[in-house]
Structure 1
Amino acid sequence: MKIVAITRVLNEADIIEAFTRHTAVFVQHHVFMDNGSSDGTIEILTALKQEGLPITVFQSRAVTFNEGNALTYMYNVAMREHAPDWVFCLDADEFIDDRAVSDGARAYLERLMSGSPRIEVVKIPMVNYFATSQDNPAEVVVPVRITRRRPPSDAYKIILRGGLPEADIVIEHGSHWAWLRSRPINSVVNSDLWLAHYSERSPFQYIAKFVRGWSKVLASGQAEVGRKTAYHYHDPFDFLRDKPGNFLRNPRFMGFKNEVPDLIDDPARYCGGGLRYSASVDEAMRAVRSLMGYLDDLATQHGRLIDEFPFVRAQVQDWERQINKLF
């Protein structure tokens, strides 16, 4: 049985090496789509590739919100180039945690191969971990440093069966669901197989994330805004824009805003071993690099729009479809 992972990544230099090494324990190949990282993420992925990890990296420097298209593209690349039986749809801050699964994730998926009816989607819960004052700041492996979590959330991510028809499959943004255009898709929930989720690792990382996230929605036009895409970024974006002191001079926000007494101390099992290309990061400077990179891309594309105004909408759509294989 062959398993492949697909991941869309953007400015995750603090976690990308640990994530890639950990995921490699569970999968035979990993396909990445970089959306224009400027914080060292590509350099780390390049080093991992040169070391021999089985990864492929594409790049699309998209300034609008096109996550679903990128995910579907990667799934179809995985089918054509690797013919997997299953595809994990993961973000770079999500670590497979199969401690509660009898015989592990691989054995579970193998059992599903011969089951009836034919399962095509496995839904697994996200378990949110949060940085706290108890963390060791010198520990660079995020899932080793951050050990306190909430109970499993009601948000799910998906593992997709391989071989779903290329022209038929659509993966929704966030990898929370997929569907077929021609017929219903058969799914099952496994509440024992978790994704340990480290979405907020520092205040500056979180600021860069919601500023960039909502900017991409705005850059996509009012139709995307009206659909409330990534709407959880909207309020913090507005608050930072209108009253930045409420965030930047707030000791709780700039400290450990999610640290509450009922967090569960339960480290996820990290399987990736030591890191070779990651070091302690100045998160404030990394946030600046991340946002300056996005601003550069956004401004550059806006200039192109001005230059080519008569064909603006068609041209932007063409740019978003231009995907180059890096290695």
Structure 2
Amino acid sequence: MLHKTLQYWAHRLTRKGPIRLAMTLLVRNEIDIIEDNIRFHAAQGVDCFAVMDNGSTDGTRELLETLKSEFDLHVIDQPAQNYQQALWMTQLAEYARTALKADLVISNDADEFWLAAEGTTLKDHLHADDSVITLKRRNMVLTEECQQPGYHYSQAQYAVKNPILYSSDTQINDTAVSMLLVKISPKTIVNPHGLIKLKGGNHRAKHGWRWVNAREDSGITVYHYPIRNYAQFEANIINRQRLLRDTNARMGDHYRRWVKLYEQGLLEQEFGKFILSASDIETTSRIGLTEKCPAIVNAFERSLNRPV
């Protein structure tokens, strides 16, 4: 702990110039979203990327290689099949510190998009001496438009505003639950100088200086697109089923629920529960469960340079 505290202070006293912001990602078979993710966050002010590929077979690894010519992007191959997210993401943060010379690190997932408040960039809300910044994360919900030909996940307009606090047992066993409406954990931006480890799916961080200046920031929101279409959903759950064969695997209750339903042949029926009709949206918006979010749609249009 002392070593990490001294590391933080040494960096704080010697660094110069503007903040260098890095983003790290751990990916496997994210061909439909990884390029959008890189382009979106580069437009939001991220300077460099470290992406660990965990044995992708769908072209993700090859696509990342082509993106290296356009972005300051580093690809690290991790072929091990004993899923160790916390360890690997901590290693990526260390890589960002040493190889990328990052002042701050966003530990991201391919299906998450970090949007700064209108008229600002991510860096406008950050300070080089921050230790851990905690940010709100929101699920995007599916509406009937997702069943139309040519639909793209970036067209989703509604996010969960006030989630439902289902118990863990309910999330796993209650067939009536729509998992996109549940409360989800926040995310963190960390200073890699003084970082001890990332925990809980990148939702928490142990840092040598956290007890002094960790904070929350409402100027950045993380928009989460865990379900984009049925094919992507099914492929993800098949992969999670494989990972859960390791009895020591740590994974959210929602994945255990979905693997169970997949094994029962009920996954497509589960997917149908995610889709809200026009009347559903009217009701959930009226009672404050969901709300329309034009800012994220507009940000996609700007960063991807195409209408959505």
Could you state the TM-score of these two structures normalised by the residue count of structure 2? 0.74
Query: Hey, what's the Cα distance between the residues in 2 that align with 1:105 and 1:53?
Result: 18
* Alignment-derived partner of residue 123 in structure 2: 106
**AA paired with 2:193?**
G
**1:16 paired residue among 20, 24, 34:** 34
Matches within 5 A, 1:174-189: 174-180=201-207, 184=211, 186-189=213-216
Alignment of 1:254-273 (within 5 A): 254-255=271-272, 257-259=274-276, 260-261=280-281, 262=284, 263-267=290-294, 268=296, 269-270=299-300, 271-273=302-304
The reply to whether residue 41 of structure 1 matches residue 60 of structure 2 is yes
Residue matched to 2:222 = 195
- Equivalent residue, structure 2, for 1:284: none
Measured after TM superposition, the shift of residue 240 of structure 1 is 1.8
Superposition pairs of residues 149-188 of structure 1, within 5 angstroms: 149-151=159-161, 153=183, 155-164=185-194, 169-180=196-207, 184=211, 186-188=213-215
Q: Secondary structure at the match of 1:192?
A: strand
Q: For residue 137 of structure 1, report the CA deviation from its aligned partner.
A: 4.1
Distance of 1:272 and 1:103 partners within structure 2: 14
Residues 170 and 181, structure 1, Cα contact 8 Å, conserved in 2: no
CA drift of 1:139 comes to 4.9
After the TM superposition, which of the residue ranges 56-65 and 119-128 deviates more from structure 2?
56-65
Q: Which residue of 1 aligns with 2:99?
A: 81
* C-alpha distance after superposition, 1:269-317 (max 9, x if no partner): 2242248xxxxxxxxxxxxxxxxxxxxxxxxxxxxxxxxxxxxxxxxxx
Deviates more, 1:206-215 or 1:11-20: 206-215
Q: Is 1:247 equivalent to 2:267 in the alignment?
A: yes
Question: Aligned partners of 1:123 and 1:139: how far apart in 2?
Answer: 32
Extract structure 1 runs of 4+ deviating beyond 6 A: none
1:218 aligned residue (238, 245, 270): 245
Paired with 1:272 and 1:149, the residues of 2 have a C-alpha distance of 20
Shift in Å, 1:61: 1.9
Q: Percent identity?
A: 22
2:57 counterpart SS class:
coil
In the alignment, structure 1 residue 121 sits paired with structure 2 residue 132: yes
**Residue 234 of structure 2 contacts residue 267 of structure 2 at CA under 8 Å; is this kept in 1?**
no
Please say which of residues 229-238 and 91-100 is displaced more in the overlay.
Answer: 229-238
CA distance in 2, matches of 1:240, 1:21: 33
Comparing 206-215 with 61-70, greater Cα deviation is found at 206-215
Q: Which runs of 5+ in 1 are unaligned?
A: 276-327
Match of 1:236 among 241, 254, 258: 258
Alignment correspondent of 2:48: 29
* Aligned-residue CA RMSD (Å): 2.4
* Cα distance, 1:49–1:256 mapped onto 2, change above 3 Å: farther
| Distance across 1 between alignment mates of 2:212 and 2:52 | 25
Alpha-carbon distance in 2 for matches of 1:154, 1:61: 29
1:143-196 deviation per Cα after TM superposition (whole angstroms, max 9, x unaligned) = 2x222211165521110124226xxx1111411011147984741111331011
Letter paired with 1:38: T
1:58 shift after superposition: 0.7
Runs of at least 5 residues in structure 2 that lack an aligned partner in the other structure? 1-18, 163-182, 285-289
Q: Distance in 1 between matches of 2:32 and 2:241?
A: 21
Q: How many residues align?
A: 252
TM-score w.r.t. length of structure 1: 0.70
Does the Cα contact within 8 Å between 1:96 and 1:196 map onto a contact in 2? yes
Matches within 5 A, 1:142-153: 142-143=153-154, 145-151=155-161, 153=183
Letter in 1 for 2:141: F
Distance 1:180 1:99, change over 3 A: closer
**1:2, distance to aligned residue in structure 2 (A):** 0.8
